[in-house]
Chain A
Amino acid sequence: MIVRGSDRVLIQGITGKQGTFWTERMQEYGTNVVGGVNPNKAGTVHCAVPVYASAKEAKKALNDEGGFDVSVLFIPPLGVKEAALDAIAAGAKGLVVLTEHIPVHDVMWFLAAARDAGCRVLGPNTAGSVTPGECFCGFMPAFNDNIFKPGRVGVISRSGSLGTLICLNLAQAGFGQSAFIGIGGDPIIGTTTRDALETLDVDSRTDAVVIVGEIGGAMEEAAAEYAGTMKKPIAAFIAGGAAPKGKRMGHAGAIVMGDRGTYDSKARALTAAGVTVVATPSAIGTWAREAIGGRRAS
């Protein structure tokens, strides 16, 4: 899912501390925020947009001007299921679920509802998405133009901080980004590495792709199957090669169980699919110059 500047964005949990801070950053950057949700503050105005009791109410009130397309959730873990189902029922085409530590049974529930409704979900446990020069959704430092600048490399990342570092390395090498897609660090997420890869494959603004993966699960292996069919050059960095087995490395999804989810398994699958697997983040710049330097990548 790539969020565009033209997308109408709703913020669920807009009045909280983080909701307020990041809504202001998003608005400054160009994100088209059309409203917010807080059942206790319906009827008020916050961050210069109206606050509604629910996403359904927002949809009703905003219907004449086009409702909303994407909802960004600044909601505590145990409230996310209800908020997500509200947004899906209101017809959201996309959700950005930032919250970490949502019970997985709740996640599976609203992902099933989203799938049936044709709603794309980023996260949970994502830092969001950035379309440099256009808009961002979540808590990414999109406004830092040493890191995010318009260009033609698409970046897919399970981690916000590491994804940001990779974008910095691209920018330092002279390459901007067509989109940053933060997919999230949870084991069960709405948009997988493969889903994001398919999106960037057909995106006319994207010439090359960087996959920022990590140990745990089998998403990189699944993405490798699709990567093998792509013409656009792809590089990958996989975090966690030095991590001990059986320990969750911060992210709920980042754990090696027995011989599953290992660095080697992912690096092998991606390499076999023709993806350049780099050993350190700064090698991304070198790759970009060699793989796409001649093409118009920024």
Chain B
Amino acid sequence: MNFQEHAAKPLLAAAGIAVPASQPARTPEAAAAAQKALGPVVVKAQVPTGKRGKAGGIRKADTPEQTRAAAEAILGMTIDGHRVESVLVESRADIKREFYAAVMNDPASKGPLVLFSTLGGMDIEEAAAKDASAIRRAAVDIRDGFDAKAARAMLKGLDLGGKDAQVADVLVRLYQVYRDNDAELIEINPLAVTGDGRMVALDCKFVMDDSAVKRHEELAKKGTPEKVTGLEAKGRALGLRYIELDGDVGVLANGAGLTMTTMDVVCHHGGKPANFLEIGGEAYTQAKPALELVLANPNVRSLVINFCGAFARTDVMTEGVLAALDAIKPKLPIHWSVHGTGDVEARAMLKEKLGVMPFATMDQACAAAVESARKAGGHR
């Protein structure tokens, strides 16, 4: 779950990392009013993407009029696919130097990774390409945590302009924010050294581990809900992992890997999938609402149902699909591939209820589904 700057920075402030005074605003008038109390400001688009600056979503302003104009220009912009609904009006720091600091889950070391770079204001890949020696990484044993000694050790040899102790202190506090909030990633970029020698976090990105949301229900309310279509929202409400796509072959399969593969094979045969929808895990009993969801997409011209039972029983899933077909009575052609746990019973059911036998392979089922969609498309 992503948190925008205005929702992430209070976590830093609570942990003792300085952030500039700021005020969120949803209208140019509110932005102008906020500026009066803050003096020279930066007006920043609040969208969950790192491409705000380049897109013109961050502007300086010194007066209420300038602030109003800046907010007017930014509100309603679309940045990296996200419409700007609010801005953060933030006191402008006197920046002398910019660093980068982050803590993230690292699949390679299977633990937390603390990152620091003397090249702030750019993303870490960019910094790595520019000067690899400016970047320091420290893999942490999560059982031990990360203290000032470890922070000083990782910073050794970098020229921090005498700010070593302050930077180390920020890294330790940042690690604590990461741990306390089950972060997947927490990043300060830039971490600024100001004219009066303070360290201030000018931006913050925070991604909470989706699997840990139930441990942080209050905080999670401040996260940015993922952008979903109407059908995707319906899928979530049912506990189904549904992603709407722009093709015309409806896909219903069990398990994430198998569902992706069904989409791949549809594409391989020249078709386009209309959705990702898997009913693996406990969701295998949800075949009926799942099929209703697939068919609710008006672009669907044909359907491929691909079950390969392991944990999920194909007979239970087939029963659910048959119930849904009975209720909806769709006119479109359906192509089955059924293997694995419960397949003998599932095949018998299909033969009895629909008078059909599944294709021998999922390749054949997908190819036939693509061909059906092509034919149906011609009559659209």
Instruction: Enumerate chain A interface residues (CB-CB to B < 8 A).
Output: 18, 77-78, 100-105, 108-109, 111-113, 115, 127, 139-141, 144, 146-147, 157-165, 168-169, 185, 187-188, 190, 212, 214-215, 217-219, 222, 237, 239-244, 247, 249-254, 279-282
Contacts and interface: CB of A to CB of B under 8 A. Distances in A.
Contact of A100 (B182, B212, B257, B281): B281
Given A141-B310, A164-B309, A188-B105, A251 B110 contact: no
Contact of B276 (A108, A165, A250): A250
Interface stretch (B60-68, B198-206, B260-268, B296-304): B260-268
Contact of B142 (A101, A105, A158, A165): A105
Interface in B62-121: 105-108, 110-112
Candidate in B263, B268, B311, B362 with the most chain A CB atoms within 10 angstroms = B311
Contacts of B179: 105
Given A144-B340, A161-B258, 10 more contacts: A78-B215, A103-B211, A104-B182, A111-B110, A127-B310, A141-B310, A160-B257, A162-B261, A165-B340, A217-B107
Nearest to B306: A165
Contact of B257 (A112, A212, A222): A212
B224 interface: no
Contacts of A242: 260, 263-264, 266-267, 273
A243 B105 contact: no
A251 B278 CA distance: 10
Contacts of A282: 361-363
Contacts of A168: 308, 339-340
B285 interface: no
Contact of B263 (A161, A185, A243): A243
B280 to A, nearest CB: 6
B310 A249 contact: no
B243 A112 contact: no
B380 interface: no
22 contacts: A78-B215, A101-B211, A103-B212, A104-B212, A105-B179, A108-B111, A108-B142, A111-B111, A112-B111, A112-B143, A113-B143, A115-B110, A157-B257, A159-B257, A161-B308, A168-B340, A187-B107, A214-B260, A243-B276, A251-B257, A254-B257, A281-B265
B211 A252 contact: yes
B372 interface: no
Secondary structure at chain B's binding surface: helix, strand, loop or mixed? mixed
B209 A105 contact: yes
B187 interface: no
B143 A187 contact: no
B209 A165 contact: no
B211 A250 contact: no
A-B interface, 7 closest residue pairs, ranked by CB to CB distance from nearest: A159-B257, A250-B256, A161-B255, A162-B257, A103-B212, A161-B258, A139-B311
B268 A279 contact: yes
Contacts, number: 178
Contacts of A161: 253-258, 280, 308-310, 312, 340
Given A105-B209, A108-B112, A165 B260 contact: no
B259 interface: yes
Contacts of B110: 108, 111-112, 115, 188, 190
Contact of A251 (B256, B263, B341): B256
User: How large, as a class, is the contact surface on chain B?
Assistant: 35 or more
Contacts of B141: 112
Nearest to A114: B110
Contacts of B280: 160-161, 250
A218 B268 contact: no
A247 B244 CA distance: 11
Given A109-B142, A250-B280, A239 B261 contact: yes
Contacts of A127: 310-311
Given A140-B310, A185-B256, A217-B107, A280 B265 contact: yes
B311 to A, nearest CB: 4
A70 to B, nearest CB: 19
A163 B311 contact: no
Contact of A187 (B105, B263, B278): B105
B5 interface: no
B308 A165 contact: yes
Contacts of B215: 78, 103
A244 B143 CA distance: 36
B184 interface: yes
B348 to A, nearest CB: 15
A127, A140, A185, A237, most chain B CB atoms within 10 A: A127
A256 to B, nearest CB: 11
Contacts of B112: 108
B341 to A, nearest CB: 4
Contacts of B311: 18, 127, 139, 160
B245 interface: yes
B370 to A, nearest CB: 12
Given A147-B340, A168-B340, A243-B276, A254 B261 contact: no
A136 to B, nearest CB: 10
A77 to B, nearest CB: 6
B260 A243 contact: yes
B26 interface: no
A71 B249 CA distance: 42
A209 B268 CA distance: 24
B214 interface: yes
Contacts of B256: 159, 161, 185, 214, 249-251, 254
Given A212-B257, A243-B276, A250-B276, A165 B309 contact: no
B241 interface: yes
Given A159-B255, A281-B362, A105 B243 contact: no
A247 B273 CA distance: 15
A91 B225 CA distance: 43
Contact of B105 (A108, A113, A140): A108
A164 B24 CA distance: 51
Contacts of A188: 105-107, 110
Contacts of A253: 107
Contact of A239 (B211, B264, B312): B264
A240 B143 contact: no
